[in-house]
Structure 1
Amino acid sequence: MCGNLLVIISIIYFKQLHTPTNYLILSLAVADLLVGVVVLPFSTILAVSSCLHLEGLLCKVRSCIDMFLCTSSVLNLCFISIDRYYAVCQPLRYRTKITVRVIVIMILVSWTVSALNGIGVTVRGLNEEQSNRCVLFQHTSLAIMGTFLTFYLPGFIMSTIYLQILMVSQRQVRSIQSTTCQNTKSGATISKMERKATKTLAIVMGVFLICWTPFFLCITFYPLSNYTIPVSVIASFKWLGWSNSMLNPFVYGFFYTWFQTSVRMIISGKIFQGDFTHFKLF
């Protein structure tokens, strides 16, 4: 919650950060913040209470909000990858293609689709046979629909886009290398650029896949295995997935120098000592 809150305050306060790309990061931070503020308290209550009178109602509410916010977080990640694709692969068309209007549409789509997905899956599951286990997707059709819209489709899109970005980046680096003086220093610089691009993309996709893949694979095979997978295993993988909302500020924020500067100004209280809205962060 602290990391996402720092991202939100930074982007809202500093005028220099009012860019289309940062609006997507802001939307992502809001979704991730709400996961920590709303979803995790519900989940904690359900985890520690075994005989709660309203456990069934809390489970349904938690499931709806959880689907809504987690799907929004994933879709925001997906739209960020699209934004990065145009920035890296089509830089000359970036400003005409990725405008504030387009970004607003992306944000509205991510939140609207997420809300419809969460409400739809929850409503469809109301008439299903009840179980003492508070687990998402206890029906096969719901599991297929929910996991496809929440993870598999966005994950496939993100993987494809970032792979394309990586290929284009390496191609651009080799093009620069072929037109510059071939010396040891140049070769070392080019090699460092390639490693940095590869490392950054590996972190972006790696964190997302490491956090969410175990849960969605488990939940996909859960109905097919006649519900034999231990609920404790599913719960553990779910908490791992939620941790993606905690790590996103590190992946999309701490890699930017402007975020490091803004965090120092916020934590030190400098922004309360005057008007720093137009302060140059980079």
Structure 2
Amino acid sequence: MSMEFCYGNGSCVRTVYPVAVHINLYFGLGSAVILTLLGNLFVIVAIAHFKQLHTPTNYLTLSLAVTDLLLAVMVMVPFMILSIETCWYFGEMFCKLHNSSSVLLCTASILNLSFISIDRYYAVCQPLLYPRRITVNTAVIMILVTWCVSSVVGFGMIFLELNILGIEEFYYNYVACEGGCFLFQSGVSSTVSSIISFYIPGVIMLGIYLKIYMVAQRQVRTIGLQDTSSSKRKATKTLAIIMGVFLSLWTPFFLCYIIDPYIGYSFQPALFDTLVWLGYLNSTINPLVYAFFYSWFRKAFQIIVSGRIFRSDMSDTKLFLFILSS
């Protein structure tokens, strides 16, 4: 690797990778972007088109898929170029929009997951209350809260420069440079934004899924039907995968994110880039966890790929006979 400047002396330093590394990075990160885009697009088309999927649970899943699709298009593509070229070529305003969108959409993705966990709690632990508590209106309110909170955190923090409040002189004298696009945070800003965007939703999800797991296990022990026991075991395995993927992909980034300002910003930018991409992969895997594991999506996928979706009677197709069998 060699070093040069993005726009000449005084601008940001650019890292130039060997051609082979350059090509492999574009191929690997580009593949992740395409998988994120296509996976979430299939979920959106399936839920929007098939009337049987128009349920509160699936509206929350639809919001998650839209969030992750926008993340792929608006954030992952420019960040891929920045990560590989190590220079920002799209101007200061688009840099602010990119950073704001990144915070907004990552927060929205995590909040969507939290509301889905609440939906699953009522479905498994309070099945008699579920039809009254989780209605279409409830799902709409959850979606509105998700996007409003995420917008305030994302755009409010970046455009009001709350992320560098109190450290403006240090940022503009020692960090900012032409050709750079940094999501730089003070200690207070990184702590508050991390708590809102990750730690609170993460604790909520962990607590809810542990409760669901214990209730499902208790039901398995008390209900002797083999089919029911098999269904419950499958449900608990799915919940374990959901939490395992979420925590393993996002925790490393948010740990470094909240620690870095308090240790003199010692972490290397390349480390942060790697951890950000690890978190973004959660949006790549979400369609697999929340949709590909279910029979209704596999059937919808077959209909979409075969082109039968364009037939006028396809929207009324029965993708499953009973909700529990999906």
Is TM-score (shorter-chain normalized) higher than 0.5? yes
For each residue in 1:33-89, what CA deviation from the matched residue of structure 2 results, as whole angstroms up to 9, or x when unmatched?
Answer: 000010012212322445556554443222100011111110000000000000000
Q: Structure 2 unaligned runs (5+)? A: 1-36, 321-326
Aligned partner of 2:288 among 250, 274, 281: 250
Alignment pair present for 1:47 and 2:47 = no
Aligned-residue offset at 1:256: 1.1
- RMSD after superposition: 1.9
Residue matched to 1:183: none
**TM-score normalised by structure 1 residue count:** 0.91
How far apart in 2 are the matches of 1:281 and 1:51?
47
Alignment pair present for 1:28 and 2:75 = no
Alignment pair present for 1:95 and 2:131 = yes
Secondary structure at 1:253 match in 2: helix
Aligned partner of 1:234 among 264, 272, 293: 272
How far apart in 2 are the matches of 1:266 and 1:194?
30
Q: Which stretch of structure 1 is more off in the superposition, 235-244 or 191-200?
A: 191-200
Aligned-residue offset at 1:221: 0.9
Q: Is the 8 A contact 1:137 1:219 kept in 2?
A: no
Q: Is the 8 A contact 2:216 2:236 kept in 1?
A: no
Alignment pair present for 1:59 and 2:106 = no
How far apart in 2 are the matches of 1:230 and 1:245?
24
Alignment pair present for 1:143 and 2:190 = yes
For each residue in 1:179-214, what CA deviation from the matched residue of structure 2 results, as whole angstroms up to 9, or x when unmatched?
Answer: x7xxxxx5xx77755643332111010111111011
Would the alpha carbon gap of residues 277 and 53 (structure 1) be closer, same or farther in structure 2, given more than 3 Å must change?
closer
Secondary structure at 2:195 match in 1: helix
Residue matched to 1:219: 257
Alignment pair present for 1:11 and 2:47 = yes
Residue matched to 2:115: 79
How far apart in 1 are the matches of 2:234 and 2:278?
27
Q: Is the 8 A contact 1:46 1:59 kept in 2?
A: no
How far apart in 1 are the matches of 2:50 and 2:274?
38
Secondary structure at 1:74 match in 2: helix
Q: Is the 8 A contact 1:135 1:231 kept in 2?
A: no
Give the letter aligned to residue 283 of structure 2: S
Residue matched to 1:114: 150
Aligned partner of 2:206 among 156, 159, 162: 159
Aligned-residue offset at 1:252: 0.3
Aligned-residue offset at 1:120: 2.0
Residue matched to 1:281: 319
Aligned partner of 2:223 among 150, 161, 176: 176
Give the letter aligned to residue 21 of structure 1: T
For each residue in 1:130-156, what CA deviation from the matched residue of structure 2 results, as whole angstroms up to 9, or x when unmatched?
Answer: 324644342111100111111100000
Would the alpha carbon gap of residues 60 and 92 (structure 1) be closer, same or farther in structure 2, given more than 3 Å must change?
same
Larger relative contact order (CA 8 Å, sep ≥ 6): 1
Q: Is the 8 A contact 2:41 2:65 kept in 1?
A: yes
Give the letter aligned to residue 219 of structure 1: Y
Give the letter aligned to residue 174 of structure 1: R
Would the alpha carbon gap of residues 197 and 15 (structure 1) be closer, same or farther in structure 2, given more than 3 Å must change?
closer
Give the letter aligned to residue 209 of structure 2: Y
How far apart in 1 are the matches of 2:86 and 2:287?
34
Q: Which stretch of structure 1 is more off in the superposition, 272-281 or 242-251?
A: 272-281
How far apart in 2 are the matches of 1:69 and 1:249?
16
Q: Structure 1 unaligned runs (5+)? A: 181-185
Q: Percent identity?
A: 51
Alignment pair present for 1:104 and 2:134 = no
